Every structure is written in C-alpha cells, then in structure tokens.
Chains A and B, each alone.
Chain A
Amino acid sequence: MARHQKTFTVGWLYPDLMNIYGDRGNILTLLKRAEWRDFEARLIELGRGTTKRMDEVDVFFFGGGQDREQALVYEDLLEHKQPPLERAVAAGAGVLAVCGGYQLLGHYYQTGEGERFPGIGLIDVRTEAGTRRFIGDVVVDSALVDIRPTTLVGFENHSGRTYLGPKAKALGRVRVGFGNNGDDHTEGCLQGGVLGTYLHGSLLPKNPHLADHLIRSSLRRRGITDLAALDDTAELAAHEKILARSAR
C-alpha cells in the first residue's frame, strides 16, 4: 500500500437500499478509472446510522430506490447525513445523485395530492409528481465544457418532474427523451460540486468522460488537475450505439 501516493475515495450513500437501477455500475466505474491511473481507490459504504469517514470522501454517490426503501433512508438523511454532506461539498467534494437521490437533494418532492416531502435543499431544484412515467433512452447535449464527446447517454424511468431554480444550471439539453420535466428540454443539474440527473443505464460506464469529469473536479482541491488518458474504445462504442439508434 505504501507505494500508492494518491488515494481516491467514493462514498456510497445507502448502498443496500438505494441501488435499484444498476447503480453499482457508477461506483465500479469511478473506482476502476482511479485504480487504472494508479490511485488507491477506496469505497466507503454509508448505510443508515453511520457518518463514519464522510470527510475522507472525494465523490459521493446517491442512487435511486424503490418507494419503500426511499422512505426509509429519508429520515436518516435528514438526521445523520445532511451536515457532514454539506461540509464535504463546501470543501470541494463531488456528488453524483441519480433519480431518487437527485430528488432528495432538492427542496422538496410534491405528491399528486399536493403533499410536500422536504429534501435537504443542497441543490436549487424542486420536484412534482407527474401522471405519466418517462421511460426510455436519453441523449443529452452536455453543458460541461471539459468533456469529449459532448454528448451524454442513458436511460430514464421516472414520474417526477424536476424544475431548476436560479442557482442550479442544467447538466445539458435533451436531444432524445424527456429529461427533468418533459417541458423545458433540460436534463439534470449542476450546482457547485453536485451533479444531479435522471440518467441511469448505468450512467458512468457509457459516459467515461463524465466519470473523469467527476474524478478530476473532486481532486482539484488536492492539487491534482490532470488525469492520464485511458483507452475508452469499449465504453465509447456502447455510447455510440445509443447515439446511433436514437438518431434513427
């Protein structure tokens, strides 16, 4: 272990409960891509009740869950995770939040009956229940300037309609699919080091450039600004496949 000068740490929020859409793909992609660059890649599992070593995390991942599980993590998030998560983000750590995790980091989720469940307000977004479920492939033209290709691909499956407030910027514009709400052509959000999105598929394996963006951004605070290039032929072939069939 001593030969590793650099570490890279992923913190997985509720790995046993918020893992519904193949979210492990995002975790594996972050860890492997750091490992292939000779980082010592570590995973900290942040289940209910624990806040252990949250200050060591470079990138947090917060996925989606089934309704029952989502209700169970909600209390724990407010009670235990919110303060250390806010501190870590203020100190430059990154967060990738997908689907349910994305919604819970916003101001609130409002049900069809008008009942509001407050989120932790880490990002300036709000979500309202929709009637129709958005399901299918998504292609996004990304707003991020440091990624090539500039497209992101994934699969969405959500009935929530998320709207961005003035402090949140869209992750990109939807070319194919519905995105945040099906109205304004936005998908996802960027605010500080937090990246929220509805894309799974899994997201990062088919978007290695986005994975590297997350790793690079979170390591900046430790003075690391460049990542060695990797051979992404397989990943980009899977990316291209979605682009090609969505263009048909």
Chain B
Amino acid sequence: MRRTAAVWAGKATGVLSRFSRLGGGTTLPGDVARAIDPDVLRKLSRDLKHGAIVITGTNGKTTTARLVTWLLEGAGHSVVSNRAGANLIFGATAAALERAGANGRLHADWGVFEIDEASLERAVEEIQPRAAMVLNLFRDQLDRYGELEAIAKRIEAALARLPDDSHAVMNADDPRVAEIGLNLKRKPLWFGLDDPAVALHELPHAADARTCPRCGASLIFDGVYVGHDGLYRCPNGDFARPAPDLAATHIELNGFDSVALGVSGVRIELPLGGLYNAYNALAAFAAGNALGFEPAYIAERFRTVQAAFGRQERLEAKGRKLNVVLSKNPAGFNETLRTAVDLAGGHWFLIGLNDRRADGTDVSWIWDVDFERLRGRSRVVVPAGNRAADLAVRLKYAGVEAQPPESDPARAIDALIEATPEGETAHMLCTYTAMLDLRAELVRRGWAKPYWET
C-alpha cells in the first residue's frame, strides 16, 4: 500500500512540475516518493525483469547510459533510465516512478541508471545491479563533492557490496579507478585504449592522479589520452595500468562527426566526436559484452545512436549550425576544446559559465582549463553565463581575443549568431545550468526542442 501511495504521489508531482516547467520534473517526484516510502527504489528495482546497470564516474555517464540503453532497446528490451541528467538517487527513483503502473509495479526489462559518485553506495544497495560501470575520476566541483580521495573510497565501498554474480566494468587507464578495482575481491572487467597515435605525450595541467597509491612516487605516463587517463606505471614497479580485457585500437577521430575504433575483432563507429566518446563507446561495449551481446550486434547498433541532450546536440539557427556541448570540469572542457578546435577546426565559440549549485559555486577551475588552445585559432569567442566576467579575465590571460562578457542568454546568442557567418558552425561549450539557460532561449525561439522531447 505504502509503495502504491509513494508511486502515485511521485507520478503526480512529475506531471505537475512538467506542466509548470519547474525544472522539468526530473527529480522532484523522486524526492516526494522517497519521503513517503524510503524503500520505493528498492521495491521498484525488484520488478525489473532482467535487472539494472549503474554507471558512475565524473564524465561520460549520460552518453554511456544512452549507449547501453540503445543496445538493450535494439534487442527488444524495455528500459527505464534517468535520461535528463538527473543522476542523483532521486533522479533514478523519479525515472523508475515514471514507468510504474497504476498498481505501483514497474513494467520494464532493464534499468540503466547514471549515478552520482556520492550516491553510488546507496544505489548499489537499493538497486542490486547486474553491472556497475566506473568510467573515470577527475576533479569536479570540489565545493560540492569534496576531494577525489574521499570519492574513490566511497566508490570502493559501493563496489564491494555488489551482488556476487554482478560485473564491475572499469576503466584501466584511470589510475584512481584502477586503484579501486585492484583493491576489490572480484576481478573487474577492465577496458582501456591501446593506440599511441592518439595519445598525448604529457599530462595536461589539471591532471589529478599523478602519484603512485602504493609508494607516493610520481607516476610515469608513456601516453595520455584524456585528463590523467593513459598508460601509466610507477617507477618503483609496485603499480601499473592493469592489462585491459577489452582494448580499443586503431582509433579514428573525425571532428564532432564520428569516432571509430577496433575492439574484439570488430570495427565500431558512432556518430559522436572526440576521444572521450571513444571511452564511452568502449565502456558501453564492455558492458554489452558482460551482458552477453555479440560484438557484431553492438557495432551495428552503435552506428545509429543519437547524442544525448546537450551533448554535441546539433541545431539550426538562422542558417548557422549550432553545436551544444556540455563542458563541466577541466578534464571535460579540455576534451571538448580539443575536439572543437583541433579536430573540428572550429572558429566561432560561445563559452557559458554559471556558478549555480549544479555547476559548482566555485569557478576557480576555469584556470585549469587550457583555453590557450583557442589563441590564434578562434575568430569569435562570446563569454556567457552568470560568471561571464570571470571567463573574460581567463580568456584575456590566455591571450584569446574575446567579445565583451554577456550574462544575458538572449543577448549572448544574438552576439554569437551575428558573428558567425551563414552556413558555418558555432560551438557552444557550457556548464550544466549555463547550457539549460541558453537552451531555454533556443527553445523559446523555436531552434531547439524542449528537453523532454529529446
């Protein structure tokens, strides 16, 4: 009875908040239902016919969840997932609620939930997933999440509680993730990149996991792919990147258009750009592998996947192409910049920085982003968001010519459209709520669909 009441209360809130456009009804119903029945997610998860997959990590959760969901749906399964980037446990609850029937039962085969690093332990406990994926661990919103060390410990505690027959799918290239995996009793399913041709030779400025967890020596990186993810070893020989069970080779990067890689004897290609999406694809491939899907099926299915909301979302505006790319921390921003400037040859940019709770209230991290990459390459940069003034200073010290800071979303979009020639592509790299604000304005002008239709 309690569960049915909780489900109904949550569903009603979801409908109401979507009508009133109060943030789109992504977690509020979860809050309400959990207040009525704290066990509601545990009970709903038991209804899933085949079980659930949880995905955690600093970057790539949403896209990886989308890929895994795409695989499952292609095989005829019904999937419940927290799609709108609401990755707290309330978001997972809200997603399950939305699909629950009038009797308070959930009718779905699988659950695919992206879970905040900090909520993982509770999620594993309540959801009892068939697989848990750990994508990477980068510094992100230290004011909100705290230091990496503490986060890593919580993830380790969560994975130690996975059911015996579940899989831990983990990124071997990330020293912090590897440290967690090597401490576990179960053997993780390791994935990693194996292609020196796309590796950088030194760590970016904002690399975090630089030291050996065993002896404290500075790790030696023989190649760096994304952030501090790469091919690393301790000079004292007590810690090194685990050999991947699934390794991506012969990686091809084609701007924001596509990324291709070889794994397990098949060639995977997906219509999303950037080396970071090679990781997301490989992670999803590994999960598919653990669930028993054929490599050939996965390769075929990935060809037609679409970008998640605000992740390389392509729009048209007054004859210009807009590319909206969520960029929320130094590791992520460096990758989207690298993709936009080096791989896609972009010239027109809007950078959006907000300091609301979901973005992080401390904007110091913009000094760890290599905006220097834009110097001499960008033709126009519009600093936007409620901290546009800070961005303007950052760009000045990076030696990048920029327009005056513009905190008003409508005027920032006008400035970008005006500066971008017709037929050309403008890249909008934004933190989470800056992206929501700008997107709301794009929706208002009819240039983008509301997020619940994406």
A22/B393 in contact, CB under 8 A? no
A17-B149 contact in complex given A22-B367, A24-B368, C-beta closer than 8 Å? no
Shortest CB distance A93–B (Å):
23
Query: How many angstroms from the CA of A234 to the CA of B210 in the assembled complex?
Result: 34
A22 x B366 contact (CB < 8 A) = yes
- Which residues of chain B are near A149, meaning CB under 8 Å? none
| Nearest CB of B to A117, in Å | 16
**Min CB distance, A21 to chain B, in Å?**
5
Q: Which residues of A contact B405 (CB under 8 A)?
A: 234, 237
Knowing A24-B367, A66-B148, A69-B211 are in contact, say whether A155-B218 is a contact too (CB < 8 A): no
| Nearest A residue to B402, CB-CB | A234
Complex contacts, A201 vs chain B, CB 8 Å:
362-364
Choose one: B203, B206, B364, B396; the contact of A200 (CB below 8 Å). B364
Q: Does B49 contact A (CB under 8 A)?
A: no
Size range of the chain A interface in the assembly = 20 to 34
Pick the contact of A25 from B216, B362, B392, B397 — CB < 8 Å?
B397
In the complex, are the beta carbons of B396 and A234 less than 8 A apart?
A: yes
Stretch at the interface among B139-147, B232-240, B276-284, B432-440: B139-147
Instruction: Provide the residues of chain B in CB contact with A202, threshold 8 Å.
Output: 364, 367
With contacts A16-B210, A24-B205, A66-B147 known, is A206 near B393, CB below 8 A?
Answer: yes
A58 at interface (Cβ–Cβ under 8 A)?
no
Set of chain A residues within 8 Å of B142, measured between Cβ atoms? 20-21, 157
The answer to whether A155 touches B397 (Cβ under 8 A) is: no
Known: A157-B142, A206-B393, A238-B389. A22 touches B149 (CB 8 A): no
Asked whether A21 and B397 contact (CB < 8 A) given A157-B143, A234-B389, A238-B389, the answer is no
Complex CA distance for A108 and B33, rounded to whole angstroms: 49
- Whether A21 lies near B205 (C-beta < 8 A) is no
Cβ contact within 8 Å between B143 and A135: yes
Q: State how many angstroms separate the Cβ of A33 from the closest Cβ of chain B.
A: 9
Chain B residue numbers with a CB within 8 Å of A68 are 149, 211
A22 contacts which chain B residues (CB < 8 A)?
363-368
A225-238 interface bits toward B, Cβ cutoff 8 Å, 1 = contact, 0 = none: 00000000011011
Query: When chains A and B are docked, how far (Å) is the Cα of A93 from the Cα of B296?
Result: 65
A66 vs chain B, min Cβ distance (A): 4
A19–B203 alpha-carbon span in the complex (Å): 14
Given contact pairs A32-B397, A135-B143, A205-B397, A66 touches B367 in the complex (Cβ within 8 A): no
Choose among A29, A67, A72 the residue that contacts B147 (Cβ–Cβ < 8 A): A67
Q: Mark B244-288, 1 if CB is under 8 A from A, else 0.
A: 000000000000000000000000000000000000000000000
Q: Given A238-B390, A241-B389, do A28 and B143 touch, yes or no (CB 8 Å)?
A: no
Select from chain B the residue with minimum beta-carbon distance to A71: B216
Question: In the complex, which residue of chain A has the Cβ closest to the Cβ of B152?
Answer: A68
Q: How many A-B residue pairs have CB under 8 A?
A: 91
Contact A237–B392 (Cβ < 8 Å): yes
Set of chain A residues within 8 Å of B207, measured between Cβ atoms: 16
> Is B167 located at the chain interface by the 8 A CB criterion?
no
Identify the closest chain B residue to A24 (Cβ): B367
How many residues of B are in contact with the other chain, CB < 8 A?
33
Interface string of A4-18 (1 = CB under 8 A from B): 000000000000110
Given A22-B365, A205-B397, A238-B389, do A66 and B149 touch, yes or no (CB 8 Å)? yes
**Is A21 a contact partner of B396 (Cβ separation < 8 A)?**
no
In the complex, whether B103 has a CB less than 8 A from a CB of chain A is no
CB of B394 within 8 Å of the partner chain: yes
Q: Is B361 an interface residue (CB 8 A)?
A: yes
Give bound CA distance, A235 to B389, whole Å: 8
A69 to B217, CA, bound (A): 11
Closest residue of B by beta carbon distance from A67: B149
Q: What's the Cα separation between A200 and B361 when bound, in Å?
A: 12
Q: In whole Å, how far is A234's beta carbon from the nearest beta carbon of chain B?
A: 5
- B148, B210, B364: the one within 8 Å of A155 (CB): B364
Provide the B383-395 mask, 1 if CB < 8 A to any CB of A, else 0.
0000101101110
- Residues in A with CB closer than 8 Å to B210 are 16-17
A residues near B393, Cβ cutoff 8 Å: 205-206, 234-235, 238
Residue from A16, A23, A237 in contact with B218 in the complex, judged by beta carbons closer than 8 Å: A16
B52 to chain A, nearest CB (A): 32
Cβ–Cβ < 8 Å partners of B390 in chain A: 205-206, 238, 241
- Across the interface, do B364 and A25 meet the contact criterion of CB distance under 8 Å? yes
**Distance in Å: Cβ of B127 to nearest Cβ of chain A:** 30
> Cβ of A72 and Cβ of B211 under 8 Å apart?
yes
Write out the residue numbers on chain A whose beta carbons fall within 8 Å of the beta carbon of B397.
25, 28-29, 32, 205
Look across to chain B and name the residue whose beta carbon is closest to the beta carbon of A72.
B216
B149 adjacent to A234 (CB under 8 Å): no
Cα–Cα, bound, A157→B363 (Å): 12
A72 to B365, CA, bound (A): 23
**Residues on A with beta carbons closer than 8 Å to the beta carbon of B398:** 28
Complex: how many Å from CA A29 to CA B149? 29
> Which of B216, B361, B363 is within 8 Å of A136, CB to CB?
B361
B residues near A21, Cβ cutoff 8 Å: 142, 362, 364-365
Bound-state Cα–Cα, A19 to B364, Å: 11
Q: Is A185 an interface residue (CB 8 A)?
A: no
A48 at interface (Cβ–Cβ under 8 A)?
yes
Q: How far is the CB of A25 from chain B (nearest CB, A)?
A: 3
Chain B CB within 10 A, most for which of A28, A32, A234:
A234
Residues of A within 8 A of B143 (CB): 135, 155, 157
- A45 CB to closest chain B CB (Å) equals 12
Residues in B neighbouring A238, C-beta threshold 8 A:
389-390, 392-393
Most buried by A among B147, B210, B367, B396: B367
**Min C-beta distance of A153 to chain B, whole Å:** 11
Q: A28-B397, A200-B362, A206-B390 are in contact. List 12 more A-B contacts (CB 8 A).
A: A17-B210, A22-B365, A23-B367, A28-B367, A66-B148, A69-B211, A136-B361, A157-B143, A200-B364, A202-B364, A205-B393, A205-B397
- What are 18 A-to-B residue pairs whose CB atoms are below 8 Å? A16-B210, A16-B218, A19-B206, A22-B363, A22-B367, A48-B218, A68-B211, A72-B211, A135-B143, A135-B362, A201-B362, A202-B367, A205-B367, A205-B394, A237-B389, A238-B392, A241-B387, A241-B390
In the A-B complex, the 5 residue pairs with the smallest Cβ-Cβ separation, listed nearest first, are A22-B364, A25-B367, A22-B367, A238-B389, A66-B147
